[in-house]
Structure formats: structure tokens, C-alpha cells
Amino acid sequence: MDRPAVLVVDDEPSIRLLCRINLELEGFDVLEAGTLAEARAAAASRELSVVLLDLRIGHETGSDLVRELHDRTPRVPVAFVTGSAEIGPNVDGLADAYLRKPFTIDALLSTVKRLAAG
């Protein structure tokens, strides 16, 4: 049986590594993307169980990708990862969960497990 896949989209390699190591230890397959273009390619390559998506990817915003993902796979749960203190009206309601940076490993794992369980 295939392991559930989590796509981690963040332009900080250290955040992607932290997520990958801890999620793999919990039995998830992890795909990483440092840009929205890489995220689009990864999302097209595999059925996803959860997407962890930084709100700001370089000069791009993650909300654009969420809309694209939901057009293709309406049920894929998304957690925004953000260092921002406030969630603006243009992204409110797009995500199923929010992880504020810096987040704990426990918060990461509980969020992903909850979203993967549906």
C-alpha cells in the first residue's frame, strides 16, 4: 500500500528538511518544492494527501497555488505555513489549517496527521 504523500512547499531549505525528516519518520512520503513551479510539477506527479504551503514563496504567494490545486483536486487539504502575524482576507478560508513559524514538531505532526485522516 502506498504511503500518504505530503507536499512541502517552502523557499527555505531548512524548513523543508525539518518537515521531510519528521514526516518520513511518521510514515509519510514527502515531496519538496522550493518554488511554485516545482510545486506544480510535484503535484502533477503524485496524488497528494496533504500540502504544507508557505504563504510567501520568494516573490510569489501560495494562495495562487491553492486555487490551482483545488481546481484539479478539490479535496486535497492544505495547511499554510507562515511567519506573518496576520492572515489577510485574500487567503482566509483557502486553507484547512495554519502553522505559524516557528512551529514545533508536535504541531507539524498533529496538523498533518489530522489533515491526512480527513
**Given the C-alpha cell 502533477, which residue does it identify?**
44
The Cα–Cα gap between 8 and 11 comes to 10
Q: pLDDT of 90-116, one tens digit each? A: 555 788 998 998 999 999 999 999 999
pTM (2 d.p.): 0.92
| Superfamily (CATH) of domain 42-100 | Response regulator (3.40.50.2300)
CA distance 83 to 96: 17
The SS3 of residue 93 is coil
| pLDDT 10s digits, 36-93 | 999 999 999 999 999 999 988 888 888 888 888 888 887 899 999 988 755 555 555 7
27 φ/ψ sector (left φ>0, alpha ψ -120 to 50, else beta): left
Question: Is 79 in contact with 112 (CB distance < 8 Å)?
Answer: yes
